[in-house]
Amino acid sequence: MKATETRPWLKNYLPEDLEMVMPELSIMDYLIWRGRPRMNIPAINYYDRIFDLTEVFYNIFKTANAYAKLGVKRGDIVLVCAPTTPETIFTFYGLSLLGAVSNMVDPRYNTEGIREFIQEVDSRFVMTIDVAYEKVVEAIKGTNVEKVVVLSPSESLPMPLKQLYKLKNPLKKNMPAGFVHWGDFFKDGKDYKTKYVHGHQEECCIIVHTGGTTGKSKSVMLSHNNLNSVSFQYSKCQMKHTRIVGKDKFLDIMPPFVAYGMGYGVHIPLASGITCVIVPQFDPNNFAKLVKHHKPQDIAGTPSHFLVLMNDKRMEGVNLSFFTNASCGGDGMSVKNEEIVSKWLLDHGAPYPITKGYGMTELAAVATACMGNINRLGSVGIPHADYLIATFDPDTGEELEMGEEGEVCVHGPTMMMGYYNNPEETAHVKRLHADGRYWIHTGDLGYMDEDGFLYIKGRLKRMIIRTDGFKVFPTAIEDAISICDDISMVTVVGTANVGAVQGQVPHVFYTVKDDSERAEADIEAELRSLCKQKLPEYMQPVYYTKLDAMPFTSIGKVDFRSLEAKSAEMLPVC
């Protein structure tokens, strides 16, 4: 029995939802189509400054006019080096009205990194947050950049927060030619008239970049249809029947320079009548404060975010009955941690356990999801309604039977257009199969059960190949070790097998819970014992290292590369 033939997950969708067909529209026309009946509802909450949908549309159109007056034309790729602010959102949708593309870049990149992104697509225009101003001034040297808009995150702050920010961070003075403050830029284009572009839904509207934890960062092109499909698939979930339009909130803690942030965290709530609560910089240590203040129904975070929230003393006794969809993705979560977080949620009044999802940048973030009680321990949920997901033999390319472990491949409406100016890598990831369909090869190993629930078991690229050729999957070791009650997080990476010509051995990195009183040597002894009990001989880790804190990438994923580098530095000298 094969997944592509049976599609058992469809039984969880309502027949009328399955019949829904997404209209062919640009992202802005889609937003207007979805939002027209609810123009006066709260759409964006920025430090309790509320924009209703009418105000959002007004600002988007005025922002489009301002970029048009600046010289932006259809097909231009504008570098957007900023966190999530209302102006970042206005820029994204405003540029789409001009048929231009937002190239979303993390402002924490160094000067050389920003320059590389500018040169890759030959950007002539940049919008940057003020804290990255000095880096951008240097980065544009030797490039074709003509204009730079400098944004302060205070632009839409309510008083007195706006005044306080400006006192601490005054506007830049004596900026180079071609640089302009957002306020002047917006005012200058306020009455400018331009013609908007429609009917370009198959064209690229945004470029986002892969996290780079398993290789060089790649620039992923996503179309208007891709991002609209993220929203439209969400609307087909049964979960939508619990939504209260105009009252529910979506706490967006993911940055806009990842597909998870702009597609899932912004486009979905704006198109669904849910208030999008945004923060320009998310601090996990303030997660509890945000949750208690806003009481959001929806949130999309990583496993580490929820582990931090659960262990925050400020959450003691808090009623979480408002948490309709506490969604976790972006990284793997061990079964034990899932059980712990779910129990914590339910004990605090949440109606459902932690809901997991699965996707990647090349799929505009999301391809599977749990929906309320449609959830199974260890699973990342079922495919969205209009997707096909199956496992394939990595060597032969043949589709495997349900229950058989292989490479997870996805066919669906959010498949990327491709990597920018990189046809070879595109062809490697987005492949045409014998069935005539293009499939995204995720590089993840997993299987699907008889009801269509997907389970991710490991990563092909993270796979550790020993000197003798045996393959070791880090997640198997992580699951065995996470049973230890003293462990808060564990990550396993491959490191060189000292003394051998080639091959790797497992290196365990772990952190200990704050309330643990056991000696490090005793904990390590238990971890070694657990591995001997749970794992075959060839999977036994060689090295164990206790960390004060697990390293994370800028988007909240465990930074495997830094752990691999740390492991290499610690290897004994032969």
pLDDT in tens, 470-507: 778 898 899 899 999 999 999 999 998 887 756 899 99
- CA–CA distance, 555 with 559 (Å, rounded to integer): 10
DSSP state, 500?
S
Q: Top-level CATH class of 3-23+216-458?
A: alpha beta
- CA–CA distance, 181 with 154 (Å, rounded to integer): 12
Contact, 205 vs 223, CB < 8 A?
yes
Can you spell out the DSSP letters for 52-116? EHHHHHHHHHHHHHHHHHHT--TT-EEEEE--S-HHHHHHHHHHHHTT-EEEE--TTS-HHHHHH
Element (DSSP H or E) covering residue 299? strand 298-301
What pairs with residue 222 in β-bridges?
206
CA distances from 78 to 92, 148, 175, 381, 493 (A): 10, 10, 20, 36, 37
- CA–CA distance, 349 with 471 (Å, rounded to integer): 43
Q: Which of 354, 362, 357 is nearest to 332 (CA)?
A: 357
What is the residue whose two structure tokens read 């003509």? 146
pLDDT in tens, 385-400: 999 999 999 878 999 9
> Crossing angle, helix 287-294 and helix 303-310, to 10 degrees?
80
**Burial of residue 69 (number of CB atoms within 10 Å: 0-12, 13-18, 19+):** middle
> Would you kindly state where each structural domain of the chain is located, as residue ranges?
3-23+216-458, 27-200, 462-570
Looking at residue 331, its pLDDT comes to 72
Side chain identity, residue 44: I
What pairs with residue 466 in β-bridges?
none
pLDDT in tens, 404-441: 999 999 999 999 999 999 999 999 999 999 999 999 99
What pairs with residue 102 in β-bridges?
78, 206
- CA–CA distance, 222 with 242 (Å, rounded to integer): 29
As a CATH number, domain 27-200 is 3.40.50.980
pLDDT in tens, 153-198: 999 999 999 999 988 989 889 999 999 999 999 998 888 989 999 9
* Assigned superfamily of 462-570: ANL, C-terminal domain (3.30.300.30)
pLDDT in tens, 229-251: 999 998 887 544 566 777 899 99
Quick one: residue 71, left, alpha or beta (phi over 0 = left, psi -120 to 50 = alpha)? left
Radius of gyration of the chain from Cα atoms?
Answer: 24
What is the residue whose two structure tokens read 């994370």? 552
Contacts of 449 (CB under 8 A, 6+ apart): 376, 379, 402, 403, 455
Looking at residue 307, its pLDDT comes to 86
Contact, 150 vs 181, CB < 8 A?
yes
Element (DSSP H or E) covering residue 543? strand 543-546
Looking at residue 470, its pLDDT comes to 73
pLDDT in tens, 437-476: 999 999 999 999 999 999 998 777 777 878 766 778 898 8
CA distances from 327 to 98, 371, 453, 463 (A): 34, 9, 16, 27
Q: Hey, do 3-23+216-458 and 462-570 end up sharing a CATH topology, with the first three levels equal?
A: no
Read off φ and ψ for residue 548, nearest 5 degrees.
-70, -35
Pairing of strands 454-459, 438-448: antiparallel
Looking at residue 501, its pLDDT comes to 59
Contact, 145 vs 136, CB < 8 A?
no
Share of the chain above pLDDT 70, in %: 97
DSSP state, 314?
G
Residue 46: pLDDT band by 50, 70, 90 thresholds? very high
- Could you tell me the two tokens for 463? 């796979």
Element (DSSP H or E) covering residue 428? helix 423-429
Read off φ and ψ for residue 508, nearest 5 degrees.
-95, 125
Read off φ and ψ for residue 26, nearest 5 degrees.
-70, 165
- CA–CA distance, 7 with 29 (Å, rounded to integer): 32
pLDDT in tens, 98-136: 999 999 999 988 898 899 999 999 999 999 999 999 999
Contact, 481 vs 535, CB < 8 A?
no
